[in-house]
């Protein structure tokens, strides 16, 4: 890869990557182009994960690195300049406080150009409804690790239907204990088996 910044990110070279971001900013480079390089690096991280070369620990490292790079870039974006692929509402459902998987998905979606509304953990269905109404998001991601979260996911999707929003959004579910059978039970459109799968689904649906 000819882009040194993208390469540094894909190789998880934190010091080098952040140095390159600062150097390009100091040289007057367009922050949008710098962000594009960061996203290219994250895309390669995703491919390495899919190929079995990287694991969850590497995804977490890459997500943290992207977050740091984005923090350096944020002050240099003009208001309204951050065009995105679309809005995605994500949260760990009511009764579950696990956030590692959810945070991975949020980081990868942001790195892929989506505007993510992160509702946090132990999120009741009404909070998802309010977020969809307020943001106009077309995709909702429900995360849950424990089996008790299954009914909360079903409850949230039922609430989307009751609010007249179900036909306007695509819903993905994810978590270590989820299967296709669980996806059918809760009524989601797709199962995102990992963070990269969630990005692929969001790309398809947008």
Which amino acids are annotated catalytic?
A: 96, 98, 149
Cα-based distances in Å from 68 to 19, 50, 87, 125, 201: 11, 24, 21, 31, 25
- Residue 29 — φ and ψ, nearest 5°? -65, 150
CB distance 9 to 62 below 8 Å? yes
- Residue 3 — φ and ψ, nearest 5°? -80, 110
CB distance 66 to 42 below 8 Å? yes
Cα-based distances in Å from 178 to 97, 134, 193: 16, 29, 8
Tokens of 169: 């959004």
Order of strands across the sheet that contains 115-118: 115-118, 87-92, 139-143, 170-174, 190-191
């Amino acid at each position: 890869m000819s882009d040194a910044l993208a390469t540094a990110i894909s190789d998880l070279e934190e010091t080098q990557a952040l140095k390159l971001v600062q150097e390009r900013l100091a040289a007057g480079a367009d922050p949008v182009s710098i962000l594009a390089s960061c996203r290219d690096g994250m895309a390669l991280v995703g491919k390495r994960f899919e190929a079995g070369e990287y694991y969850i620990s590497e995804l977490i490292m890459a997500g943290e690195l992207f977050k740091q790079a984005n923090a350096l870039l944020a002050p240099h974006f003009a208001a309204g300049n951050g065009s995105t692929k679309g809005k995605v509402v994500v949260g760990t459902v009511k009764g579950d406080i696990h956030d590692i998987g959810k945070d991975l998905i949020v980081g990868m979606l942001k790195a892929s150009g989506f505007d993510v509304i992160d509702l946090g953990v132990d999120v009741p269905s009404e909070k998802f409804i309010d977020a969809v109404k307020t943001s106009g998001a077309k995709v909702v991601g429900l995360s849950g690790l424990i089996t008790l979260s299954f009914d909360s996911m079903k409850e949230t999707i039922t609430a989307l239907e009751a609010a007249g929003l179900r036909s306007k959004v695509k819903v993905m579910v994810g978590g270590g204990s989820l299967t296709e059978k669980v996806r059918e039970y809760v009524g989601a459109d797709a199962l995102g088996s990992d963070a990269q799968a969630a990005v692929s689904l969001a790309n398809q649906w947008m």
